[in-house]
Structure 1
Amino acid sequence: MTRLKAVVCGTTFGQFYLAALHRLPGEFEPVGIVARGSSRSAAVAARAGVPLYTSVDELPGDVDVACVVVRSGAMGGPGSELAEQLLTRGVNVLQEQPVHHGDLAACYRAARVGGATYRLGDLYVHLSAVQRFVAAARVLLEHRAAAYIDAACSMQVAFPLLHILGAALGGVLRPWQISAVGNDTGLALLHGEIGGVPLTLRVQNEVDPDDPDNHLHFLHRITIGTSSGGLTLTDTHGPVLWNPRLHIPAGVRDAFDFDADHLSADASSIVGPAGTASYRELLSAEWPTAIGADLLALREQVLGQSDRPEQYHLALSRMWHDLTNSLGYPVLRPGQAHEPLPVELLTAEVR
């Protein structure tokens, strides 16, 4: 089996990519970190047992893969420029979402120039609860047409929301349109359609400038409604619920008779496992495993063994651009605090 030599660019979220590489020792060999050279980056490199490089020019010539986990140009960072530099050198790149569609196109061009492969990474679509939701949604939509989609997310994870919706709809994205109804308080309401299905979307469009990756009211919450009921991803990490639509038969109205077969169905059913893992387990194990799915897809693409999703990812990126344009600038909420609350407080008096 061919082991690809890999470096990780960025040491904040990049640590999750390092963990993913270490989980795939037969496919990848971590050989370095590219970062600015801070003491924290040096410590990350030391823990990983790999050298720290402070520029692409310092990399050895035998690097096969670079994971670019630095904010892209659309988010005010140098990630897209870094990806282009690597691609023109012939290094295959997996870049963490979101990426502006113009930068995506530039990276695809750079990949052709360098004879390399470029792929967009998005761990969320590979999480186990999301995979269950997508699989169940596809079965549901084989039997019933979607009547509506109701969804919620935070602006930091808006691209993955569109990615999840696209997967649930079988890759059907058009017709697509979105517009904001209100965005005065940091919780924006948008209406539109995706794949021809009416869409209502709530987005937490606010951020703590000193802690931008935290304080999210939602990750992803999605309901696909049909004439038979609604399938709901209650959170990115589950559970997934099926709620049959209530139908009161004539026998109940006329004779108070409850023998109709469909009344025996549970009002709400869990699709898949009932519980969810702790955040410790999710962050330390499931997230690196999900990133590993993108790494393996890139590897297969490099070896010529998989499809090329360029046009699909470009379409998603254009949709994300439409969505963020409709949202406008986020409301700044500096000084947010983490306020955990034990579930036992809620369940103590529940019978």
Structure 2
Amino acid sequence: MTRVVVAGTSFGRIYLEAVVGAPDFTLAGVLARGSDHSRACAVRYDVPLFGSAEEVPDDVEIACVVVRSGALGGPGTGLAQAFLRRGVHVLQEHPVHADEIAANLRVARAGDAAYAVNTLYPNLRPVRRFLAAVGVLRSRQRLDFIDAACNSQVAYPLLDVLGRMTGGLRPWTFGDVHVARRQPFVSLHAEVGGVPVTVRVQNQVHPGDPDNHSHLFHRISVGCEGGVLTLADTHGPVLWNPRLHSPRDETGRLVMAGPGTERLDVPSTVVVGDEPPGTYHQVFADLWPDAVARSLRNLRQDATEPGRRMAEGQWALGVSRMWSDLTARIGLPELVEPPEPEPIPLADLLGSKGPA
């Protein structure tokens, strides 16, 4: 049983649920500044509340640092290094600047500890299913294009996903940014791992409510000779659209049925996988904690296989450098203050009818 401490109780709540819900980990404590919420978390999970890394006992093997890094003006990286110096393996929540990652890797080597940046979303079950299907496409045909959209808050993990899709981050290039009046998205052409990519980013943030008001998290399509595979949303589903291609008869007209048109006798859209998208309650309670638990297991494997640490560290550096390149091009987010969105009842959409 691997003993884990979680630093941070805001998004750290997802990590706490991941640890207590996994049979191979045990929660050894919460590290926080001592707010009422943090104290309540420690009481809820019946674990000690620590005020500093030095207070954490030596039998803790992994520290989850879910505190803002220096890239966001927080103390997370200093906290990560305090654990790494003691030989405690660290999983740090993204985003983390490349210079901080490089410094953390040096401290980790000196402390004989494993260090990883958790981008979370590549380990979500729907995204893993999407990446596995992309791997099948890539093994058989060239990837002709990728079209990707996201909110600026989750652009960092999008780049991680794109690199996994193409089989590598390099070479990457980002072209000029296109901004149109009254458009919530900025767009640019790019290349990742040698594959042409179109990137659209909702580069907007509500200054008083930055975790809300995203039009979407991630939406990604990848095309090849055989068709288009789409991750409709970060939380699924994965869709496959086989390419429409019909033979022609001796007059040049398309043949739509009969012998030679077997490739047309397939659904125009197929849902890949048998797990339907869940509610957002289920996303918070199951899907995200499951992804964190998978990241923890990957870190634990890095700890037992030092040869993996260098490769993981180089990948993390590459993702962070790509993110710095992208954010430098798209600039600071536009500040917006829209009202709370009004939900649309699903029954209204299901009951809608087209023109008679």
Question: Which TM-score applies when normalising by structure 1?
Answer: 0.93
Instruction: State the partner residue of 1:8.
Output: 6
Comparing 107-116 and 297-306, the one that deviates more = 297-306
Instruction: State the partner residue of 1:333.
Output: 336
Task: After superposition, give the CA deviation of every residue in 1:138-182 in whole Å (9 maximum; x if it has no partner).
Answer: 111111111111000111111111111222223x22210013422
State yes or no: 1:258 paired with 2:257: yes
Instruction: State the partner residue of 2:212.
Output: 214
Match of 2:154 among 154, 157, 161: 157
Comparing 123-132 and 51-60, the one that deviates more = 51-60
Partner SS for 1:86 = helix
Match of 1:178 among 163, 174, 177: 174
Cα contact 2:67–2:93 (8 A) shared by 1 = yes
Instruction: State the partner residue of 1:127.
Output: 124
The 3 A distance-change label for structure 1 pair 250 and 211 is same
State yes or no: 1:115 paired with 2:116: no
Instruction: State the partner residue of 1:347.
Output: 350
Q: CA deviation at 1:122?
A: 2.4
Cα contact 1:239–1:273 (8 A) shared by 2 = no
Q: CA deviation at 1:29?
A: 2.1
Counterparts of 1:317 and 1:255 in 2: how far apart (Å)? 49
Match of 1:19 among 14, 17, 20: 17
Map 1:1-351 to 2 at 5 A: 3-25=1-23, 27-170=24-167, 172-183=168-179, 185-251=183-249, 253-254=252-253, 258-259=257-258, 260-273=261-274, 275-304=276-305, 307-308=308-309, 309-334=312-337, 336-350=339-353
Alpha-carbon RMSD across the aligned residues, in angstroms, is 1.9
Q: Percent identity?
A: 46
Q: CA deviation at 1:199?
A: 0.7
Task: After superposition, give the CA deviation of every residue in 1:264-293 in whole Å (9 maximum; x if it has no partner).
Answer: 122211111273111111210111111100
How many positions carry a matched residue from both structures? 347
Cα contact 1:180–1:188 (8 A) shared by 2 = no
Cα contact 2:87–2:108 (8 A) shared by 1 = yes
Cα contact 2:246–2:256 (8 A) shared by 1 = no
Deviation >6 Å, runs of 4+: none
Counterparts of 1:59 and 1:138 in 2: how far apart (Å)? 42
Cα contact 2:237–2:272 (8 A) shared by 1 = yes
Code of the aligned partner of 1:123: L
